[in-house]
Every structure is written in structure tokens, then in C-alpha cells.
Amino acid sequence: MALISDWGFFLKPGKEEEFDRWLDENEPRFTELAPPTYEYLGTYVPLWRGAGETAPFHQLWRYLSERPPDLRVAAGDGGGDFTDMAREFLSFVDETRSAEETFRLYRSARKAPDRT
């Protein structure tokens, strides 16, 4: 069963335009270089957020395995171009607001078939 991960994060102050240009130039590479079992779905800005949710950017991934996903570990294990690109991406993220980040993991609402 595929899982969807949603990471809500903040950019460093004043980095919005540079981040927008970086995404424009590099976003297709996330798809090309993603670690095995990961599929990049995009980086989004929510049009609506619930009360108390403040993260203005969200990155979504589909994870094609039944084990719990850990993209940071997968990036480190993969090495090479994906890891370099992930480091560039993370250079825009405001680490001083990491306590306000959101992490969600979704599974299909349909029940998985019984494997017994």
C-alpha cells in the first residue's frame, strides 16, 4: 500500500523569491533523482489551512513500501545528486521554526486486502 507524506515547513526570511526560482529550475530533478520507492508529488502552498496551522509550504511524497518512510535517511543512503539537491533545498528551510513544522502520513481510506 502506498503512503503519502506531507511535510509543512517555513522558509528563511527573505528567501521566498530565490526559493521560487530554485523550485522552477530544480523541481523536475526531484522526480528524476528520487530514491527507490519514493515518488515526488510536488511542493505546494495551501489555499486554506485550519486554525493553528501556520506552515506556508508543504512538500508531498508518495512512498511505495509498507515500511515507515524516512526520506532523510533515504537521501543520505542514496548519496550523489539527490543528496546534493536535498541539501540545496534544505538551505532555504528556516530551522529556527522546526518546532512549528508539520508532518503527516496518509494511507488510503480503502482497507488493504487481508494477507492471512
CA 80 to chain centre: 18
Q: Burial level of 34, CB count in 10 A (0-12/13-18/19+)?
A: buried
Q: Which of 18, 15, 25, 5 is nearest to 94 (CA)?
A: 15
pLDDT computed for residue 23 by the predictor: 95
Please measure the distance between the N-terminal and C-terminal CA atoms of the chain and give it in whole angstroms: 16
Place of cell 528563511: 12
Q: Which comes out higher in pLDDT, residue 105 or 49?
A: 105
Residue 63 C-alpha cell reads as 512512498
- This prediction's pTM: 0.82
Q: Which CATH fold topology does 3-46+54-107 show? A: Alpha-Beta Plaits (3.30.70)
User: Is the model's pLDDT at 69 over the cut of 80?
Assistant: no
Place of cell 522558509: 11
